[in-house]
Amino acid sequence: MKSTIDKAKNWLDSAVFDQHTIDEVQNLINDNSAQLEEAFYKNLEFGTGGMRGIMGAGTNRINKYTLGKNSQGIANYLKKVYPNETHKVAIAYDCRHNSQEFAYAVAQVFSANGVQVYIFPELRPTPLLSYAVKHLGCHCGIVLTASHNPPEYNGYKVYWTDGGQLVPPQDKEVINEIDHLQFKDVDFKGNKERITELGPDVDQAFIDDSIKNGGFNTTEESRKNLNISFTSLHGTSVTLVPKVLEKRGYKQVHIVKEQAEPNGDFPTVDSPNPEEPAALKMALELGEKKGSDLVAGTDPDGDRLGIAVRNLEGQLQVLNGNQTMVMMTWFLLEEWKKENRIQGKEFVASTIVSTPLMRVLTESYLVDYKESLTGFKWIAKLIKDNPELDFIGGGEESFGFMVGDFVRDKDAVTAILLVCEMAAQLKAEGSSIYEKMVELYTTHGYFKEHLVSLVKKGIEGAEEIKQKMIALRENPLKEIVGEKVVLIEDYSSQKAKNTHTKETYDIAIPQSNVLIYYTENGTKIAARPSGTEPKIKFYISVNTELESHKQYHQATEILDEKIQRIVKELGIA
């Protein structure tokens, strides 16, 4: 087994690597520091959202060569599985540093291997790439993005023929193809005749289908009366969201100008992640200034959506991902019901770490509810695996939602339109999204969730996360804040155990490093290492009953206090 420094010295070959890369690697070798170890101790791996990493030279970094090797492997794989076809790939990129350069380097590799490349010449949202794969009849799609990660990151997401991200068995087969390659095997020469830069036609088709899927029975007057403030957080959604809303007839759309300019440094936020309420600070300020009913913001690649709405006191309040998902799901179910489209062959999907209210709500409409692992590639797989069923919509707690199946990944562009339609309709009826949410809690039970993410960077951090999961498995919790644990689901062994009867049963969901505890009172605790970031995440769900909306504030205080006791007891503050 080669040492780290031996691996690094392989990158000094001028026949394979450019001078800039060689100089960077030589400096790392000269320093022989922890940075050298971090850059070369392993190969970057595909996670729930593809491949993400810090940019720089090295096998454990995002660079022209690691991305080129991926692309060469995929090109080889396409030739094997589609031997008598003209292979086609769609490529898009976001606002991050080097994204455009990486995208065209990837295009060079595919075109050099005889693959017809369709590339967006300017930055575009990830959901548009998913859409383009199907729209253009491509075999696969690539988007260069690191979503909401810090500025030093970039990434590479792979989509397959259905527009969904790469899933088993193709993912393992592709990885195997990549692992058998050397960097000298990558062909960067390119073929200009096989690279086509896309024009506005695909954008326009997406806009039309977004309105078709996300637009419902709202009146022209209600759309005109809705006041919206929007931020793209220096990312890609500014290229499509304003166009979609304008075409649908929303006249009062105020854009945070300081954040409308794409910028990979994300200079106005600590984190370009709408999961973090602080990311929406400037949008909230604009919303207050303009008297907005709704504030919306997306992450840099335009697939995650955060919103704030007026609460019962009339103040703008940021909803968490579970709340936003539940409200969009309710609106879709309600509209499908009004249109007599629920015929017993529909389904809604969410993930194993999302709020239990999704199941309760969906089944109250007599619609099938399906769960998957975290990551929209699994929801897209559910659609592919159930062609006899119509997909209404679905989401996950991490601020992602998919409206219908015309896009096979989370889609903040269409989700914003859906939220606007819901807000416009409810405002016209003298209600609001927040009021309706409290009404749903009163009807179905008040479920409140909380996420704790512990950042553990580098080699030591990865080992710490590993040991934490081992400890939770070898010494399982018996009680959580005085409530007996009645069920433990271990998605690594794909087994669930009833702690009272000691019975076990199989979990019919793909293997993953996730552990979930359930108590006798319905409290749910899930532990999961992130597949795309150096984090271990703890998902907490507690619940109570509401007899009326008047109990809402008191119940909120009780549940918040319970969540804090759980956090303290687990030692994850």
Beta bridge pairs of residue 516: 489, 526
In sequence order, what DSSP letters do the residues of 442-491 get, joined into one string?
Answer: HHH-EEEEEEEEEE--HHHHHHHHHHHHHHHHHS--SEETTEEEEEEEET
Contacts of 16 (CB under 8 A, 6+ apart): 65, 183, 184
The Cα-based distances of 245 to 65, 218, 267 in angstroms read: 40, 13, 26
| Residue 187 near residue 113 (C-beta atoms within 8 A) | yes
Q: How far is CA 249 from the centre of its chain?
A: 28
Q: Are 327 and 439 in contact (CB under 8 A)?
A: no
Using CA atoms, how far apart are residues 497 and 511, in angstroms rounded to an integer? 16
Say whether 270 sits in a helix, a strand or coil.
coil
What SS3 class is residue 249? coil
How far from each other are the two terminal CA atoms of the chain, in whole angstroms?
40
Report the candidate in 256, 42, 234 with the shortest Cα–Cα distance to residue 151. Answer: 234
* 494: phi then psi, degrees, rounded to nearest 5: 60, 40
Nearest to 348 by CA among 333, 334, 331, 337: 333
Residue 253 near residue 277 (C-beta atoms within 8 A): no
Give the DSSP letter of residue 55: B
Q: 319: helix, coil or strand?
A: coil
Amino acid identity of 515? L
- Taken in order 254, 153, 163, 116, the sign of the CA dihedral is positive
Show Cβ contacts of residue 21 under 8 Å, excluding neighbours closer than 6 positions.
11, 57, 63, 64, 65
Long-range pairs for 76-83 at CB < 8 Å and ≥24 separation? 76/113, 76/177, 76/181, 77/170, 77/173, 77/174, 77/177, 78/115, 78/139, 78/140, 79/113, 80/177, 82/139
Candidates 99, 111, 147, 350; catalytic one: 147
| 421 neighbors 216 (Cβ within 8 angstroms) | yes
Helix H or strand E segment including 348 = strand 346-351
* 431 is a catalytic site residue: no
Collapsing DSSP states into helix, strand and coil, what is residue 160?
A: coil
Return the active site residues. 147
